[in-house]
Amino acid sequence: MSVVVLPAVMDPAFKHKFGVAAFNAIDDVTLDGLIRGAEESSSPMIIQISVKTYKFWGGKVIKDTFTTMAERVPVPITLHLDHCPEPDIAQESLELGWNSVLFDGSALSFDENFRITKEITALAARFGAHVEGELVAVAGVEDGVGGENEGRLIPIEQEVEFIKGTGIYCYAPPIGTAHGFYKSAPDIRYDRMQKTVEATSMPMVLHGGSGLTDEVYRRLIALGAAKVNISTDLKKTYAEGFRTYLEAKPAEYDPLKLIGSVRDDVKRMAQHYFRLFGSEGQA
């Protein structure tokens, strides 16, 4: 068990209609907190890494740290590269043994995105890895990738052509969610999620997951969102964990107590989502 491929966690979730949380880990403290949370909740989990974080630490350091930590626990966990618009980085991560990658060609023309996504899918298959695809940009900026506005909506038929023709394993449909903090309640397009699943029978990915209501999560997961991305809430938990601890204990200088406290905060946050998404006890 421990380190598995993306379908090993998403196929059961899609079939039994629960969601697997995909957290954007930042460092070893967040990785360890998330993995401990998954173990205690007996939950499958996806660890994903932004390209910005990938470049900060290096793909091998992250892969090795992830593998060492994930192999200590019995629950299935997979390592995914989030929103990667750079084919070279996607290729490098696959060569290093990462389990999957989201090739984000949403800024490209349909034809260019189709062509490169298909190439990366073929490359991934050689490594036993998998690809998430994206056609319409999710609104909001996430770790330097993306813009303020959602990309132009396209006919569902074109999305289906992309999904089936490129050979991707899962897809991020444009359903009105956004990266970052929501300034007002989003207008969720449940119909698009439903129609895309009906036309493809493929597991879907929910981006902009932080800050939605419990009811929105439940409805989208029931429609086929088998991977639910949580990035902003993790960043907030992490930063507030340091701030709260240091403000409460201004004379404390033991680094392990400090990061141990933050690690526990991250673990509790992860366990909240496992319960909410129905993945608790599914490992």
Nearer to Zn ion, 130 or 207 (CB): 207
Q: Cβ of residue 233: shortest distance to Zn ion, in angstroms? A: 13
Q: Cβ of residue 81: shortest distance to Zn ion, in angstroms? A: 12
Question: Does residue 48 contact residue 25 with C-beta atoms inside 8 Å?
Answer: yes
Nearer to Zn ion, 26 or 262 (CB): 26
Nearer to Zn ion, 30 or 41 (CB): 30
DSSP H or E stretch at residue 2: none
28 is catalytic: no
Nearest to 204, CA basis, from 232, 176, 171, 157: 171
User: Among the candidate windows 15-23, 89-97, 156-164, 203-211, which touches Zn ion by CB under 5 A?
Assistant: 203-211
Nearer to Zn ion, 186 or 260 (CB): 186
118 binds Zn ion (CB under 5 A): no
Size of the site for Zn ion (CB under 5 A): 1
Q: Cβ of residue 179: shortest distance to Zn ion, in angstroms? A: 6
Stretch 128-167 residues interacting with Zn ion (CB under 5 A): none
Tokens of 154: 């396209």
User: Among the candidate windows 17-25, 49-57, 200-208, 259-267, which touches Zn ion by CB under 5 A?
Assistant: 200-208
Q: Cβ of residue 235: shortest distance to Zn ion, in angstroms? A: 13
Stretch 44-103 residues interacting with Zn ion (CB under 5 A): none
Nearest to 80, CA basis, from 21, 140, 15: 21
**Residue at shortest CB range from Zn ion:** 207
Nearest to 168, CA basis, from 80, 44, 262, 41: 80
Q: Cβ of residue 207: shortest distance to Zn ion, in angstroms? A: 3
What does the CA dihedral 70, 75, 76, 77 come to, rounded to 10 degrees? -40
User: Among the candidate windows 30-38, 65-73, 202-210, 257-265, which touches Zn ion by CB under 5 A?
Assistant: 202-210
* Residue-wise burial string across 260-274, b where 16 or more C-beta atoms lie within 10 A, e elsewhere: ebbbebbbebbbbbb
Q: Which of 36, 63, 130, 207 binds Zn ion (CB under 5 A)?
A: 207
Question: Does residue 120 contact residue 103 with C-beta atoms inside 8 Å?
Answer: yes
CA dist., res. 283 & res. 274, Å (int)? 11
Exactly one of 27, 64, 82, 265 is catalytic; name it.
82
Nearer to Zn ion, 94 or 102 (CB): 102
Q: Over 31-82, what HEC string results?
A: HHHHHHHHHHCCCCEEEEECHHHHHHHCHHHHHHHHHHHHCCCCCCEEEEEE
- Cα 96 to Cα 56, 67, 100: the distances in Å are 16, 12, 11
Q: Which residues bind Zn ion (CB under 5 A)?
A: 207
Catalytic residues: 82
